[in-house]
Amino acid sequence: MFEYYRKYARTIFDIAVIVFTGYVLMFLASLIFRVAKPIVYGLILYALIHPFVEALARRRVHRAVATTVVMLGFLLILLGLVTLGAVILVNELNSLAQNLPEYMRYLQRQFEQQTAHLQARLDRVPPEAIEEVQRYLTQAVDTINAWLKDGVFMLFNLVKGVPFRITQWVVHWGLAVIIAFFFSLEYDRFREAFHTRAPGTLRRAVRFLQENVLSGLGRYVKAQFKIVSITAMIIFVGMILLRMPNAFFVALLSGIADFVPVLGISSLFLPWIGYHLIVGDYRTALWVTVLYAVVVVVRQIVEPRIVGESLGVSPFTMLAAIIVSTSLFGAVGIFVAPVVVILIKALIEQGYFARWIRWPEDR
């Protein structure tokens, strides 16, 4: 064993240095995202408007005018889509609010029926057994009450911080719009200064990231939006065909839940199916289960193809990286993991790991 370690000592050291460097870079990326969110949002927004600004600039439109026109157009389109979605969402929520009391009454009737049925059966059970069951039920109720108290306390803390989070989100994106606007105005000056004053090593590194990582990240984002759009569309059309209420609202929630690692739409569908089973609405539970199965099957068919064609990386590899990154760096890891996976893939394809890792000659 000692001979084995001595033989591969340099290899182990090189791999350890690469892993440590990667961890440090991921930590710095997560730190920058937490500290400088408006700048990160601004760069993302700039990346979205840059192609349109360049298209107008090539038509000899002054860059300030082009940036202003594109930014205003982007904000107006975004505002229109948000307004349209908000109107549809409010109508769906109003419908849900009107039907919610009926749902609760139906649930109460089912509970009363099940309780009466259980009471009829308990009349034929010996008193000793009933006392034992009551003791266990009391413990179960106490446990559930403790869980409910903790849940209400967590919900209260979450709701209490919502106004602050909304205000913070609005301020961050407001600053992001300003940053993207001025960065677009100064883009030519920044590019010229970078090409003339930046060290050659830095220029080559940025070119490598631009040609391999950024383009791959763009393809990954497009692939994820394609998958989420397919999922939401299947759910929306399925609920319309089944004449279920709140189709748009459920499809929107499913699209949002689809971004959650591991759980995905299961976090929405499983409680939904469980509710219908509890209230005894087995027909609706069956159709919701069928819809859920269709979505899962379609995702299993479509996801490997879309992600594989766009990146050449298996969904399992990306999911494993997201889980590990999230465990290490929190929610920021969801955004850092795809960048790291794409970067590692590019480094392997370009042969950098083969140059950085020294292997024994007689391996």
Which among 204, 205, 211, 217 has a CA at the least distance from the CA of 341? 217
The span from the CA of 237 to the CA of 243, in Å, is 10
Structure token digits, residue 167: 């205000």
The span from the CA of 61 to the CA of 79, in Å, is 25
Length of the chain equals 363
The span from the CA of 108 to the CA of 16, in Å, is 60
Owner of token pair 């409910």: 148
For residue 151, name the pLDDT band (cuts at 50, 70, 90): low
Domain ranges within the chain, ordered by starting residue: 199-352
In the chain, the amino acid numbered 15 is I
The span from the CA of 148 to the CA of 143, in Å, is 9
pLDDT for 273 equals 83
Q: Tell whether the torsion through CA atoms of 29, 31, 32 and 37 is positive or negative.
A: positive
Average pLDDT score over residue span 167-183: 85
Which among 242, 222, 211 has a CA at the least distance from the CA of 347? 211
Compute the mean pLDDT over every residue in the chain, rounded to the nearest whole number. Answer: 77
Residue 268 CB neighbour total at 10 angstroms: 19
In the chain, the amino acid numbered 118 is L
Model confidence pLDDT, tens digit, residues 25-63: 878 877 887 788 888 888 888 888 888 888 888 888 888
pLDDT > 70 in the chain, percent: 74
Between 38 and 166, the higher pLDDT residue: 38
Instruction: State the Cα torsion 72-77-82-83 to the nearest 10°.
Output: 90
Average pLDDT score over residue span 246-263: 75
Contacts of 325 (CB under 8 A, 6+ apart): 26, 333, 334, 336, 337, 340
Owner of token pair 């070119």: 207
The span from the CA of 343 to the CA of 351, in Å, is 12
For residue 133, name the pLDDT band (cuts at 50, 70, 90): low
Contacts of 10 (CB under 8 A, 6+ apart): 358, 360
The span from the CA of 172 to the CA of 44, in Å, is 13
| 129 pLDDT more than 60 | yes
Q: Would you tell me the crossing angle of helices 215-241 and 282-311 to the nearest 10 degrees?
A: 160
**H or E, element range at 323:** helix 315-329
pTM of the model: 0.62
Cα–Cα distances in angstroms (integers) from residue 100 to residues 187, 230, 250, 283, in the given order: 53, 29, 15, 19
Contacts of 29 (CB under 8 A, 6+ apart): 332, 336, 339
Between 193 and 158, the higher pLDDT residue: 193
The span from the CA of 329 to the CA of 341, in Å, is 15
The span from the CA of 115 to the CA of 109, in Å, is 10
Average pLDDT score over residue span 191-220: 79
Residue 325 CB neighbour total at 10 angstroms: 23
Average pLDDT score over residue span 233-245: 85
Backbone phi and psi for residue 262, each to the nearest 5 degrees, phi listed first:
70, -60
The span from the CA of 88 to the CA of 148, in Å, is 32
The span from the CA of 179 to the CA of 45, in Å, is 9
Owner of token pair 């490598």: 208
